[in-house]
Structure 1
């Protein structure tokens, strides 16, 4: 064994089996792909990705074999130790896809092989570009105390442990079978990370304060314990979920050396799944009706805002509530499913079709005008100092600033024993 001056231990002996060689090659190809896309920079996250055999943390994976409208859903379980599954499994766990690992909170020590029917996924490994993005944004370093909230199978936790060193990385996982599964596999990796079964919303006070806190679950607002457990100079990164999966926010909380807490919220193209029991709005049930009756044509001065106008779309999630976008539609389609209303933008001809009691497009027109008057903000400040735990969001100073309050956390249903 040899330290290669990056802080990582490198095995000088070549892999002893063809399977090990294939895994090493797949890992190298994954890193090269992420570097080529510009998502991965040179540094400790890259070195950790090269060093850690992720196949130990992801020994199996579900793939969906039925169509999007099928009920019940048909799945197939890939077992990495099975010769017939190995190549497909190896490619999948080193791809940029999310890895589906658990249905309906099932125990993970005796899963049925092959086809299975029914159930919904309750745990998955976040797709690698998002993991890389989060770990690089937190600027992890050796010796930092790290807390992962909702680590699932422990991929990002293992990467963090490889960077911080043994004994500094802790995960809090609510799902008992997943916590046991992750801890068993992390022990095999010998990276010195620990997974504790518990409520991630409470953090883990026993090892606080933490230099870095990362949440693998989306929340509506920031749980107070997370902020309280953040050390001076520390960083907390989480997804703020809204009622629409279309427009998530990324929140970065920092505590200065003097102890002052600062929080910046940005619209983001992707985010983590919300807490168990959180209900998103859904446009799928309206697709057939919209196709049959797109609505009444009227003129509009609002050109459909680009997808990259994240600051606008994030504000829309809060200030034009109840809307969700159907990204599968040919032209921009925004639905208010609870009000049986929708808007379908015209094909660049200055028109829009509207249907239902709510003029969905008018809400966006009004908000877009306010957003422009506010200076087209792309980020917002969040005030976490209110003793009443009300968290205010504001785009800036002055009477034209956009402002709203974050909703309280939803109650999380208890798991069946």
Structure 2
């Protein structure tokens, strides 16, 4: 299915770099249990999706790109495209607008979806198009829809996908509203951070469908029942994504952490609880709960989306610890 753009792979370097990336993903344990994703990462040429990207350097960002006149700079660009790291692909006034996610995290997320042949998938956040290409390689173009609010992003994703030989449906629109004309979906995966789970996604999912959403520096995997209801727990994996633009974007003022011990402020799991309970618990209350409950791992938390309300919880959806989420 995948193709290669002429002149972009000096001496087969991209093939070797891609094979090395697949080995790194495997060594990390990401995506294990589903060999179909290994084959997709081995086949889809990531460098075609990042013709340029930005690397953080002292004082800002350095641009690496495929068309540099310096062959050593082109090689740095190509090798960097196959590192197991996120790549900043779109900046505006120093703010990160779009990125290509870390491949091992992508592998974990794709494996968590548990796709089967014939499944239809909606991706929220087209990014570079690379994730949509992996899905299209696995499931076929017709079964994959990706949506993004920014027409520049969807246009470049379309271009990258075509260069690599993939043609899923690319839609320009507000991802929080889903893509009703392509529904229902067996799986929905968001590649941008949200403050809650849009009801539209639950409505556009088949009963038994799965929705995977980055939320509060974690990844929550929901199963949809036939009543406009979805529920599930967080995966163990930390996840940091660019926020969704348009409806449903998370936000808020910086939190005041006075009175919270420095050790807790720096702890990833405490910061996850802070993000999850923002607006419901003040940081001091969150810290007391966190210590009392034994500094819970992400997997002890979950989300319930009902027809009238949406809430996060610890251990039990009907238990004593529950916090409303924006819907």
CA distance in 1: counterparts of 2:223 and 2:305, whole angstroms: 11
- For residues 335-355 of structure 1, the C-alpha deviation after alignment (integer angstroms, 9 at most, x for no partner) is x9xxxxxxxxxxxxxxxxxxx
1:383 corresponds in structure 2 to 304
Match of 2:322 in 1: 403
Aligned to 1:28: 19
Conservation of the 8 A alpha-carbon contact between 2:202 and 2:230: no
State which of 308, 311, 314 in structure 2 corresponds to 1:392: 311
Q: Any residues of structure 2 matched to 1:229-308 within 5 Å, and which? A: 229-241=204-216, 248-256=217-225, 261-266=229-234, 268-276=237-245, 278-279=250-251, 307=267
Aligned residue pair count: 318
Q: Which runs of 5+ in 1 are unaligned?
A: 1-8, 68-72, 105-117, 242-247, 324-335, 337-359, 409-417
Deviation of residue 86 (structure 1)? 1.4
The answer (yes or no) to whether the contact 1:28–1:50 under 8 Å persists in 2 is: yes
- Aligned position for 1:54: 46
Q: What is the aligned partner in structure 2 of residue 86 from structure 1?
A: 74
Q: CA deviation at 1:375?
A: 9.1
Is the CA contact (8 Å cut-off) linking 1:147 and 1:213 kept in structure 2?
Answer: yes
Residues 324-366 of structure 1 show CA distances to partners (whole Å, capped at 9, x for unaligned) of: xxxxxxxxxxxx9xxxxxxxxxxxxxxxxxxxxxxx6x54552
How many Å separate the matches in 1 of 2:199 and 2:305?
9
Report the Cα offset of residue 207 of structure 1: 0.8
Alpha carbons 2:230, 2:306 under 8 Å: kept: no
The SS at the match of 2:83 is coil
Instruction: Measure the CA separation in 2 of the matches of 1:174 and 1:139.
Output: 27
- Asked whether the 8 Å contact 1:250–1:271 carries over to 2, the reply is no
Indicate the residue corresponding to 2:117 in structure 1: 142
Q: Is the 8 A contact 1:319 1:367 kept in 2?
A: no
User: Which of 186, 199, 202 pairs up with 1:211?
Assistant: 186
Q: Deviations over 1:12-40 (max 9, x none)?
A: xxx99962611000000001111112224
Confirm or deny that 1:65 pairs with 2:52. no
Measured after TM superposition, the shift of residue 407 of structure 1 is 2.8
* Cα pair distance change 1:269/1:280, threshold 3 Å: farther
Question: How far apart, in 2, do the equivalents of 1:29 and 1:307 lie?
Answer: 32
Q: Could you say what secondary structure the match of 2:158 adopts?
A: helix
How many Å apart are 1:140 and its aligned residue?
2.0
Residues 223 and 29 from structure 1, CA distance in 2 versus in 1: closer, same or farther, beyond 3 angstroms?
A: same
Shift in Å, 1:91: 1.6
- Between Structure 1 and Structure 2, the one with more helix by share is 2
User: How big is the shift at 1:130?
Assistant: 1.4
Change (3 A) 1:96 1:227: same
CA distance in 2, matches of 1:403, 1:322: 9
The superposition leaves residues 73-92 of structure 1 with CA deviations (integer Å, 9 ceiling, x where unpaired) of 4x332221332421111121
SS of residue matched to 1:32: helix
**Aligned counterparts of 2:177 and 2:278: Cα–Cα separation in 1:** 31
Q: Shift of the alpha carbon at 1:229? A: 0.5
CA contact (8 A) 1:239 1:249 kept: yes
CA distance in 2, matches of 1:398, 1:54: 40
